């Protein structure tokens, strides 16, 4: 005899029949518990979670077999393994059909043929086993999917950070030749992101600015050192060559279809254009200049004014803002989008914080 892992509840008010069933099923290796009415049966079902098969009479005192099934279905966890088999008296086919409709897997007519009983109970046992295996499979599948999702998320995060790091390296390569420091390009990214947020742009577009704006001077890679690093004033030929860094930047960045690179290419090309049309390379003005380039142009000048340069000392926040607002003969308010100047004033405390945090 093999011992079954399934426990059977036998709910039957006639003790003689109950004892006969218990004896037969115990011999088959089942652990049995007994109830003499439906109410007792329901209580046992709720308390003993090992019960997986219920053998129940229909007509019993206090609670009928059908009522017990109904109550069990409403109070017992839907995921619990539980199969019902009904015992009916002679002529109880109407109740038996009712029980099958409620989900009982079979019914046995009294007097009970014990061989048939054993067969039906083994079938119930098989069903419980199949349902359990299928649930375990589902759970392991779910766990697998969860683990894979986590893995993919991790890979995506890695890819994203590798991507932004390579953009930073590209920007840094240009700055490396330049007297301006690596922190300048990081600040430009962060300032631009703050402005984009104040403009009400999506998080995605704000992040685009954070990555793209630092690449504005990438074209300086192509500027000869004797011009880029010349301590004195550039002559007119040298100025022409110096100005080519805008178009060079565009040529370097515009090969990619990636949104960050496309925005970066537009910024590189247009970050020296001015609102009043006095900029380069095309001398376009106003809203003809892509907004991303207008933002970068403004924060680039803000940062240049704040920073120490070979030709000027570091200016504080107040002096920097007053030059942007009133001009100083070199920088003029007409160079910038007036709406962006207003926004810059609104977020100036945040820009100041970034300047301090990422100081040279
Ligand atoms: Fe530039
Ligand atoms: Fe710059």
How far apart (Å, rounded) are the C-alpha atoms in residues 346 and 140? 54
Whole-number Å distance, alpha carbon 296 to ligand 1 midpoint, is: 10
Does the pLDDT of residue 182 top 80, yes or no? no
- Phi, psi for 210 (deg, rounded to 5): -60, -40
Domain boundaries, the chain: 7-142, 178-357
Ligand nearest to the CA of 217: 1
Rounded distance from Cα 123 to ligand 1 centre (Å): 81
Q: Was domain 7-142 assigned CATH 3.30.470.20?
A: no
The mean per-residue pLDDT over the stretch 263-276 comes to 97
Q: Do 7-142 and 178-357 show the same overall fold?
A: no
CA of 316 to the centre of ligand 1 (A): 22
Please state whether the predicted TM-score (pTM) of the whole model is above 0.75: no
Query: Which of 75-84, 298-307, 347-356 comes out lowest in average pLDDT?
Result: 75-84
Distance CA 222, CA 245 (A): 7
Measured CA to CA, the distance from residue 264 to residue 258 in angstroms comes to 10
Q: What is the mean pLDDT of residues 271-298?
A: 98
Distance 300 CA to ligand 2 centre (A): 5
Compute and round to an integer the Cα radius of gyration of the chain.
Answer: 40
Q: How far apart are CA 220 and CA 241, in angstroms?
A: 10
Alpha-carbon distance 359 to 190, whole Å?
13
Instruction: List, as ranges, residues with CB under 5 A of the ion ligand 1.
Output: 217
Number of Cα atoms under 13 Å in the Cβ half of residue 323: 17
Give the C-alpha separation, 199 to 208, whole Å: 14
Whether residue 181 has pLDDT greater than 70: no
Domain 178-357 has CATH 1.10.3210.10: yes
Residue 33, beta-bridge partner list = 9
Would you say residue 93 has pLDDT above 90? no
Averaged pLDDT score across all residues of the chain: 92
pLDDT digits (tens, 9 = 90+) for 113-163: 999 999 999 999 999 999 999 989 999 999 999 999 999 999 999 888 888
Rounded CA gap, 302 and 187, in Å?
10
């Amino acid at each position: 005899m093999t011992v079954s892992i399934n426990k059977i509840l036998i709910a039957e008010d006639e003790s003689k029949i109950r004892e006969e069933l218990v004896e037969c099923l115990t011999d088959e290796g089942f652990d049995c518990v007994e109830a003499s009415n439906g109410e007792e049966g329901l209580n046992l079902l709720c308390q003993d979670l090992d019960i997986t098969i219920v053998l129940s009479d229909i007509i019993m005192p206090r609670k009928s077999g059908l009522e017990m099934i109904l109550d069990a279905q409403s109070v017992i966890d839907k995921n619990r393994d539980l199969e019902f088999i009904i015992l009916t008296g002679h002529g109880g086919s109407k109740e038996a059909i009712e029980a099958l409709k409620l989900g009982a897997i079979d019914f046995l007519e009294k007097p009970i043929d014990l061989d048939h009983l054993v067969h039906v109970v083994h079938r119930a046992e098989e069903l419980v086993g199949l349902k359990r295996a299928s649930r375990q499979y589902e759970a392991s599948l779910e766990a697998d999917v969860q683990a894979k999702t986590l893995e993919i998320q991790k890979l995506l995060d890695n890819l994203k950070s590798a991507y932004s790091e390579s953009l930073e390296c590209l920007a840094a390569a240009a700055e490396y030749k330049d007297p301006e420091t690596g922190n300048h390009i990081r600040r430009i990214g962060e300032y631009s992101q703050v402005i984009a947020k104040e403009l009400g742009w999506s998080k995605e577009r704000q992040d685009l600015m954070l990555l793209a704006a630092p690449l504005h001077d990438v074209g300086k890679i192509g500027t000869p050192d004797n011009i880029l690093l010349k301590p004195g004033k550039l002559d007119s030929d040298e100025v022409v060559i110096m100005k080519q860094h805008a178009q060079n930047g565009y040529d370097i960045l515009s090969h990619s279809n990636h949104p960050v690179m496309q925005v970066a290419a537009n910024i590189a090309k247009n970050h020296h254009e001015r609102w009043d049309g006095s900029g380069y390379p095309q001398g376009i003005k106003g809203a003809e200049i892509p907004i991303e380039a207008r933002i970068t142009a403004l924060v680039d000048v803000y940062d240049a004014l704040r920073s120490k340069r070979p030709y000027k000392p570091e200016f504080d926040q107040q002096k920097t803002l007053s030059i942007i607002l009133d001009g100083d003969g070199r920088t003029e308010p007409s160079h910038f989008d007036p709406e962006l100047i207003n926004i810059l004033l609104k977020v100036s405390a945040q820009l100041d914080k970034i300047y301090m945090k990422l100081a040279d």
